[in-house]
Structure 1
């Protein structure tokens, strides 16, 4: 997170005095942010999203015919659909179930004044689809002019081209900053062939990805960090989301390497959040490999144990619901603190409890954490039924595999 911290210190968004009444109890600098759940207050239709207990988790090109199907997605932690819907989708089902839609007008039944339609999708991967950045930006400007002014936020998704060397930095910054209120990028590093490219190109990102740890959860965090750096260029921070594949993110057999493993699904989501992602969008269309599907959540509901992707869907639901349980923590402003080498961390405080979210930088094994003044005693490892003693301002823990994450809870002195 060091790349973004150095780039966005002092950038916009509500101050911690406005958002966090128990502000800066650790007397440390803060990671600049857009304001957490309060960010959505500026959009009339997104008033439900202003709750500190709300964390956005979306499904790309979902599909539903009944309220029962929507409730299944909700029990897996999905709280909004985006990308596209079947043209006959019933908006009343979204309203009755409390599900949200972030996209275009699907049919005449979609009510642009409804809280269940809080945001619009401008477009997807414009940076990789148009003959020139100027043409892509002209397209987005037309869309923004059309979509603004309805009480909805604007959301856009890009490719890895906005954080690498394929476009001029000025063009990347304009794409990311000029047309949206929430932005994401997609790069499915666990499951596509990018990590095996020769010459390798992952070291060209804003936050470089070493080839030795390319196919790890840490890369999803680095991509989130890189996008935040581009977003910070104009001094106005917006909500950053990150895409993760449910099965595989490839569009054909040529680029397919393998399916993502359940533990990797969880690790990729946690690495994104540790790097200040304010939401997750799940890409569910598996168009290559041995578990072909366009609707794995629906397949898991209908086919149960016989579905080839049942374990991935279950893991997605588990990490989604963990994030929801921690939403009030995630919606506070992070502290800037270096816990030690070869670890990736996020530090937050709420109700005089410090939370340390931690993973490795792509490796595994034992890691040592040096805590800031004000944290002492013991660290409860959330959800694991164990505690670690803090001695001389430090504690140690093990990360058996690269996708392992731990969340530590420490009472303030």
Structure 2
């Protein structure tokens, strides 16, 4: 760990369409679906403005092919990462593989990358290590150096003044100087935070997202951050500058909001992957802050995927709460959530070819109480749906492209089916953490433009 990834920094986890209201752009492309997060009216129809159109995943399915010795382009690989984990013993990587982690994002400085590669895992590192598949440029520089091109003193958080003059931002300078040190064609990844999602204007946020790296993410911990519901953070973008009420703040759909916010600022649109951060413990020192639960983790992950995330990274550290650890997914602190993380990772792994396959935009109409995405793979249609409100609801979905005859959707991993009549099916969502994954066999041909 270099100084930029100090304890102070980690505990702080706190073309451009600017998304500053409760409506967020779910699908970028010729077909646009707007979803009102937290709506209490599941009967409100989501507007579908175009006939169905096929949209490739951001960056394209072979995005990593242009980077030598980088991540696989095999459709069976979908990045499931863990942040700042250590590999100091041969047993560490197998423990992570047991919960289906396949990628390490910024290993600790005392780690042996060989323990990862020996089990077929991949690693993006902040140092030039043999066997690394990419480099980590920085973490949350938008928060500790802010947007701007002032001089960087070379210091990191906790070491003194970072920018000169101190009242100006130098985050762009930091990124440029770090980037200059990397070999050409290296896959570069950066993570950002509340600067990009809440505090910076659209121009500065877009500069951070577009000018320095090939893969990007932002860590908004909606379930556990003690400050994120405030009027200057989540409330600024989802409540008009007022405090965001708990039922609309502590909501899995907001993880999808974060992904869509980043995607809306990528220029050219859809040109590079956005990954999603999800916490798996208690990442803040304040003991009164919430600790995330298993159902919340699953829902946050699927909200991110529905909104177009092309990778998932778990924040694996608890700095407060009842069980403090740096290795939640390995040790006793993770006993309650580990089965949930394993289960959702198993779903992602099994559905990796589908997640890497194109979206079908504009095909599905549904109420505003849910978020949903349609995928096409192997002749089948997949509808991934998650609740966008805390209250229970009965949701209706209509695929207008399906023929009038009756059909059936298999609900994956639930051992049940739902009937489809004239392209419409219905299901119940018990709370804000409910997720249903549907497969409609042989339906892709009827909906292909």
Instruction: Place the TM-score, normalised by the shorter chain, in its bin.
Output: 0.7 to 0.9
Instruction: State the match for 2:142 in structure 1.
Output: 127
- In the TM superposition, what whole-angstrom CA distance separates every residue of 1:12-55 from its partner, at most 9, and x where no partner exists? xxxxxxxxxxxxxx971234642444111111112x51000000
- Once residues 203 and 238 of structure 2 are traced to their aligned partners in structure 1, the CA distance between those partners, rounded to angstroms, is 13
Q: Does residue 409 of structure 2 align to residue 387 of structure 1?
A: no
Instruction: State the match for 2:115 in structure 1.
Output: 93
Instruction: State the match for 1:374 in structure 2.
Output: 402
Q: Does residue 194 of structure 2 align to residue 160 of structure 1?
A: yes
| C-alpha deviation, 1:4, in angstroms | 3.2
**Which of 369, 376, 399 is matched with 2:429 structurally?**
399
Higher relative contact order (CA 8 A, sep 6+): 2
- Once residues 409 and 207 of structure 1 are traced to their aligned partners in structure 2, the CA distance between those partners, rounded to angstroms, is 35
Instruction: State the match for 2:272 in structure 1.
Output: 238
TM-score (norm 1): 0.85
Q: How many residues align?
A: 377
**SS of the residue aligned with 1:335?**
strand
- Once residues 30 and 142 of structure 1 are traced to their aligned partners in structure 2, the CA distance between those partners, rounded to angstroms, is 39
**SS of the residue aligned with 1:293?**
coil
Instruction: State the match for 1:339 in structure 2.
Output: 365
TM-score (norm 2): 0.78
- Once residues 365 and 94 of structure 2 are traced to their aligned partners in structure 1, the CA distance between those partners, rounded to angstroms, is 40
CA 206–141 in structure 1, closer or farther in 2 if over 3 Å, else same: farther
| C-alpha deviation, 1:66, in angstroms | 3.0
Q: Does residue 260 of structure 2 align to residue 225 of structure 1?
A: yes
Instruction: State the match for 2:214 in structure 1.
Output: 181
- Once residues 90 and 396 of structure 2 are traced to their aligned partners in structure 1, the CA distance between those partners, rounded to angstroms, is 48
| Pairing 1:351-370 to 2, within 5 Å after superposition | 351-363=378-390, 364-370=392-398
CA 131–218 in structure 1, closer or farther in 2 if over 3 Å, else same: closer
| C-alpha deviation, 1:64, in angstroms | 2.1
CA 263–36 in structure 1, closer or farther in 2 if over 3 Å, else same: farther
Gaps of 5+ in 1: 11-25, 300-306
**SS of the residue aligned with 1:297?**
coil
- Once residues 54 and 311 of structure 1 are traced to their aligned partners in structure 2, the CA distance between those partners, rounded to angstroms, is 27
| C-alpha deviation, 1:200, in angstroms | 6.1
| C-alpha deviation, 1:5, in angstroms | 5.3
| C-alpha deviation, 1:280, in angstroms | 0.6
CA 200–141 in structure 1, closer or farther in 2 if over 3 Å, else same: closer
**Greater helix percent: which structure?**
1
Instruction: State the match for 2:68 in structure 1.
Output: 44
Instruction: State the match for 1:190 in structure 2.
Output: 223
**SS of the residue aligned with 1:161?**
helix
Q: Does residue 124 of structure 2 align to residue 102 of structure 1?
A: yes
CA 9–179 in structure 1, closer or farther in 2 if over 3 Å, else same: farther
**Kept after mapping to 2: 8 A contact 1:159/1:187:** yes
**Kept after mapping to 1: 8 A contact 2:282/2:290:** yes
| C-alpha deviation, 1:131, in angstroms | 5.5
- In the TM superposition, what whole-angstrom CA distance separates every residue of 1:275-312 from its partner, at most 9, and x where no partner exists? 0000011001111111211111231xxxxxxx243111
More displaced stretch, 187-196 vs 396-405: 187-196
Gaps of 5+ in 2: 1-18, 32-49, 150-169
- Once residues 233 and 139 of structure 2 are traced to their aligned partners in structure 1, the CA distance between those partners, rounded to angstroms, is 23
| C-alpha deviation, 1:95, in angstroms | 2.5
- Once residues 418 and 146 of structure 2 are traced to their aligned partners in structure 1, the CA distance between those partners, rounded to angstroms, is 55
